[in-house]
Amino acid sequence: MILSNLSVPLVSLVDTMVMGRLPEAQNLAAVTVGSTTYLFIVGCLGFFRMGTIGFTAQAVGRKDGTALRQVLIQSLLLATGIAAIVIVLASPFYQLTLYWIQPNQQFHESAQQFFNWRVLGLPAALINNTLVGWYLGSQNARIPLLILIITNIINMVLSVWFVLYLGKGVTGAAQAALIAEWSGCIIGFCFISTPLKKYTGQWLFTYLKNWHSWKPLLSVNRDIFIRSLTLQCVFFLLMIEGAKLGENTVAANTLIINGLTITAYILDGFAYAIEALCGKAIGRQNKILFHKILMVSCGWALIASLLFAACFFELGVYFINMQTTILELREHAYPLIPYLAVLPLITVWSYLLDGLFISATRAKEMRNSMLLAFIICLPLGFLLQSFANTGLWITFLTFMALRSIILGYTAWKIEQRNQWIEPNQQRTEQKTIQEM
């Protein structure tokens, strides 16, 4: 799962390195605005992976092949339908984004071209998220690894070719991502039969006409959508407020966010493990296995976050230099390195806790915790506006810390009530840790 996730931020890193070698910071800024807006949309719809994995893992724990098939078909239909709707609404939303930023004409045109191409890959992106969640819930991490590695290799190779060799600029970067996303979608469908061979069941298409068969999935996805929308709003506001401070500022923030993205995707590997394995333990009603998975995952995630913090603190300058050759942009990014170094230590707990709640399909608590952290930090952001970019990063760090604290307290209360696996569902747990 870590290897699968690692391939994702490498795309953004390569795009940044490619655009950072063009003569003007404006190119990188345009890609940042266009990409951030696109990822905002995809991130808000992240429930296709998160909502799918919990239900799938619990079906696997129960060895219910019919439910496994039902989750897949419902999630794919939902992803396709919502993608069609969002594509229609995406362009007006992006125009509003550019209106808020008020860029110059050249910046506006470059960012618009990037987004127009990028949004054509939205259906593939949502289907890919659904398939990855379903495969992970099926306890198969190798197929998502194959999908993501091939997708991102295509993206990186085409990005270098289109931008640096064919001179297509920001349009070339968007076209490379578009081709890669649809390639990943095709690959994902090629392996659907692999998990299904292990669990016999039926394709009950009549369930699709029954509202009650959709209600659990839609309910969880609704709450995850609100949670994801709130989180993406934070990143979106970070981008917009940074852009208001100038092209160099928003581009420098991008260099730091790339570091955060790398750590997030790698540390999310532990969260994905919790989602898949704890979900399976809940399906088996095995509390011992449930706690074992949590302890092991949290221990290794803490070690990994400490290593990241040390590396960024010592090698942050080299990480910045690797991404861009523009001296002025480097000077804007160097003072932000301390924020990058401390971020893994703060954010790791929210990743792990998200995985815990997703495994139990407890999306309501995730939603409420995220909203509360946002409501608290939004006034703080306005109060710190006079501190310019420093105020932005202090607010962001505070938000991530509060998110972990609130979610952790909620998890502790559920544990005290013994509600992760409901008492009336628990059975005699003769199976030991060897089940892993």
Going by C-alpha positions, the residue among 274, 255, 367 that lies closest to residue 319 is: 255
CA distances from 322 to 42, 253, 396 (A): 27, 15, 25
Query: What's residue 121's pLDDT?
Result: 86
Q: Kindly indicate the confidence band of residue 247, based on its pLDDT and cuts at 50, 70 and 90.
A: confident
Query: What's residue 373's pLDDT?
Result: 94
> What's the mean pLDDT in 430-434?
35
- The per-residue pLDDT for range 62-92, each reduced to its tens digit, is 888 888 899 899 999 999 999 889 888 887 8
Q: Is the pTM value of this prediction over 0.85?
A: no
Q: Provide the phi-psi class of 418: left if phi over 0, else alpha when psi is between -120 and 50, else beta.
A: left
- The per-residue pLDDT for range 136-171, each reduced to its tens digit, is 888 888 898 888 888 888 988 898 898 888 888 788
Q: Kindly indicate the confidence band of residue 397, based on its pLDDT and cuts at 50, 70 and 90.
A: very high
> What's the mean pLDDT in 286-299?
90
The yes-or-no verdict on residue 399 having pLDDT over 90 is: yes
Query: What's residue 434's pLDDT?
Result: 35
Higher pLDDT, 329 or 27: 329
Please name the amino acid found at residue 352. L
Going by C-alpha positions, the residue among 305, 282, 306, 307 that lies closest to residue 294 is: 282
> What's the mean pLDDT in 92-118?
73
Please name the amino acid found at residue 433. I
Q: Print burial letters for 88-114: b (CB count within 10 Å at least 16), e (below 16).
A: eebeeebeebbeebebeeebbebbbbb
The yes-or-no verdict on residue 368 having pLDDT over 60 is: yes
User: Does residue 152 contact residue 10 with C-beta atoms inside 8 Å?
Assistant: yes
Between CA 127 and CA 44 the distance in angstroms is 14
The yes-or-no verdict on residue 206 having pLDDT over 60 is: yes
If you average pLDDT over every residue of the chain, what do you get? Answer: 83
Query: What's residue 428's pLDDT?
Result: 35
Going by C-alpha positions, the residue among 179, 170, 187, 44 that lies closest to residue 103 is: 170
- The per-residue pLDDT for range 8-54, each reduced to its tens digit, is 556 656 666 777 666 666 677 777 777 777 777 887 787 777 878 88
> What's the mean pLDDT in 347-355?
91
Query: What's residue 436's pLDDT?
Result: 38
- The per-residue pLDDT for range 116-131, each reduced to its tens digit, is 888 888 899 889 889 9
For residue 432, give the 3-state DSSP assignment.
coil
Query: What's residue 25's pLDDT?
Result: 62
Query: What's residue 237's pLDDT?
Result: 85
